[in-house]
Structure 1
Amino acid sequence: MIVLGFESSCDETGVALVSDTDGLLSHTLYSQVAMHQEYGGVVPELASRDHVRRILPLTNQALADAGLTLANVDAVAYTAGPGLAGALLVGASVAQSIAWAKGLPAIPIHHLEGHLLSPLLADPRPEFPFVALLVSGGHTQLMRVDGVGRYTLLGETLDDAAGEAFDKTAKLLGLGYPGGPALSKLAEQGDASRFDLPRPKLHSPDLDFSFSGLKTAVMVRAKGLGLVKVGEDDQMDPQTRADLAAATEAAIVDVLVGKATLALKQTGLKNLVIAGGVGANRLLRERLAVQLRRFGGRAYFPPLALCTDNGAMIAFAAAMRVKAGLAELNTERRAFTVHPRWDLEDVCQAD
């Protein structure tokens, strides 16, 4: 079975083709980062319009790269949520239109389920069951994954997510958009031990997260050091800024590693899957790999190219749901909707 997948939930347009037997056949992606940098963040209307411009050329490229045509496609999948409503509608409309024209089933996919299953595209791939650390955008969650559609929430953020802590700290330090990668790059030049920042809930017995206090602590420390940016007059000391960036990254990573390890101990499982954009963070990957070896477990990451939003994870999640008998392969009913807010539990298999 070959699935054509579309991802358009935010500021990346992704199209991919996945085979249930041969894996990823092709993967095309366009990032809108350069367009949104001028505004310091994603502008929803601009994001939607750019998806309209990019999605069909990317589809043609994905088909050409795989050496296929739409006649070879057996199903079409798309991100139905969560995300920006207008952006989601672009991908959903194109997917449903192709499915209708070709008489194919159209499969709506939860964005976070795509991230959750994306490490299974890597080699080696984890076996069920495992614990998943999902760190994507505004989401930081620990899940027990017993199979496709069998997800149990173990803990989640009570306020800011890890990605938001990265982005808000980066903005505070004048690093621009996207903040997370910029902060991590600057942190490589810094001394994390110079500043003692809090690790919220690191030693609590539950598996929840909280990063708003860390963000506030960084802000207070920055103001106390005179790290302010007024207009074009940048008064920030470069080394101090790098040190504060490194200390912030270290604090976030400490919490993520600590809670992930605790989740493994509480569930008795040995394998951890890390999914989502923050999963590309170099320090997080290194620390988790070392920690899990000590623990007798193993950390699994999606390929770096598939950490950000992409069509491959959507097509793959759809193929997995079809294989598990969880996808409705209806070629008659064409009404559809998108879900800007959508709990992952809503797509779980009933016990």
Structure 2
Amino acid sequence: MILSIESSCDDSSLALTRIADCKLLFHTKLSQDSHHSHFGGVVPEIASRLHAENLPLLLSRLIDFLRTLSPNAPFAPLKAIAVTNRPGLSVTLSEGMCMANALALSLDLPLLCLNHLKGHIYSLFIDTPHAHIGEGLGVLLVSGGHTQILHMRDYEHITLVAQSLDDSFGESFDKVAKMLGLGYPGGPIVESYATGYSGALLPMPIPLLHDKRLAYSFSGLKNAVRLEIAKMQAHDNTHQEAQPTLREETKHRICASFQEAACTHILHKLRIYFQQHSVQFTHFGVVGGASANTLLRTRIESLCQEFGKTLMLAPLEFCSDNAAMIGRLACEAYMRKEFSPLNDTISPKSLPQDFENGL
């Protein structure tokens, strides 16, 4: 089996995956949401310190599980150590790499350094020995740091079709939540506020609506929300309070209006991708933490039905960052003997060889 480690941002996670059938045997995770909520986003230095505290705790849990399998030699069943080393926050990736190197060296096991985004794709195949992608798999990856359309022919051939020019889909939810003082992470909070509103929506711009490029952009929409908040604050505070506030109904309205525009933007570009490349894929997957958004899932499901594509969704518990998806990806890398030397090489971005460019 493979021991996998994930620490690319603010989730500490370890997992054990059986190589023979890619079965997830053990998974444990500690979130840092409560520590970053006050700041409205992830503070890298705090995240790094918490990984240094949490990863050993999770390793202790994992060892307890291993002892149930092999009491006298708990590490004997392990065949490799897998770790996320890109992309992500450098200071948090370093924590996972430090543990991975220590385990690989002390146990004399091969090391697999893996791409976090490819891990998200393989979250679709947790507990599945074969990656069923039909004649091709289109993928929408929406997370806190990335918004991408990817096209997968097989493990070795994954093409980057489109990505955000600035903010990501998930990041824009976090920033809207921060502007409204709603806390972190912004995705589920903004969605909750949006779901509770059924009135008229505020006019919001749809980014790149008349731009034929396959690309995303959320900075303009984010700024439109900021301007709308300022306007509504002036409207809601007729007595000129020292600290302008918004009525709860106004917060619900802003969240609903923003979410509608953000999802419309995602679907507008996806429709172009479907129209241009529909013959090249039969399955379509949605992955990443922000893929848990119900409105987005519903809209994409309708799009897949319209074009006759099989929709694939990762289980909700494996949408956000986790070591289970890294373990599933690691099974593929292990079978191909894509081992890495012991090192501390990390990268905040994907490497040029990780993805192909252009279909």
TM-score, length basis structure 2: 0.88
Query: C-alpha displacement at 1:22, in angstroms?
Result: 4.4
Query: C-alpha displacement at 1:138, in angstroms?
Result: 2.0
Q: Does residue 211 of structure 1 match 2:218? A: yes
SS in 1 for 2:76: helix
Aligned to 1:35: 35
Query: C-alpha displacement at 1:125, in angstroms?
Result: 6.3
Change (3 A) 1:287 1:126: farther
Aligned to 1:191: 198
RMSD: 2.5
Distance 2:212 2:40 in 1: 37
Aligned to 1:9: 8
Query: C-alpha displacement at 1:348, in angstroms?
Result: 4.4
Task: Write the deviation string for residues 292-327 of structure 1: whole angstroms up to 9, x where unpaired.
Answer: 11221122111111111111111111111223x261
Distance 1:300 1:189 in 2: 28
Aligned to 2:331: 319
Task: Write the deviation string for residues 248-278 of structure 1: whole angstroms up to 9, x where unpaired.
Answer: 1111111212322322221222321111111
Contact 1:149 1:349 in 2 (8 A): no
Aligned to 1:254: 264
Change (3 A) 1:122 1:203: farther
1:1-351 alignment, distance < 5 Å: 2-20=1-19, 21-65=21-65, 67-68=68-69, 69-121=74-126, 126-128=132-134, 129-191=136-198, 193-226=200-233, 233=243, 235-267=245-277, 268=279, 269-323=281-335, 325=336, 327-328=338-339, 333-343=341-351, 345-348=352-355
Larger deviation, residues 57-66 vs 248-257: 57-66
Distance 2:102 2:222 in 1: 44
Change (3 A) 1:302 1:209: same
Distance 1:337 1:302 in 2: 29
Task: Write the deviation string for residues 19-65 of structure 1: whole angstroms up to 9, x where unpaired.
Answer: 23142111100001111223332222221121111112212323444
Contact 1:150 1:348 in 2 (8 A): yes
SS in 2 for 1:28: strand
SS in 2 for 1:78: strand
Q: Aligned letter for 1:196?
A: P
Task: Write the deviation string for residues 178-213 of structure 1: whole angstroms up to 9, x where unpaired.
Answer: 222211111111137421211112454321111111
> Mind listing any 5+ residue stretches in structure 1 that lack a counterpart?
none
SS in 2 for 1:225: helix
SS in 2 for 1:226: helix
Give percent identity, aligned residues only.
33
Change (3 A) 1:34 1:43: same
Larger deviation, residues 233-242 vs 120-129: 120-129
SS in 2 for 1:289: helix
Distance 1:65 1:201 in 2: 50
Contact 1:261 1:292 in 2 (8 A): no
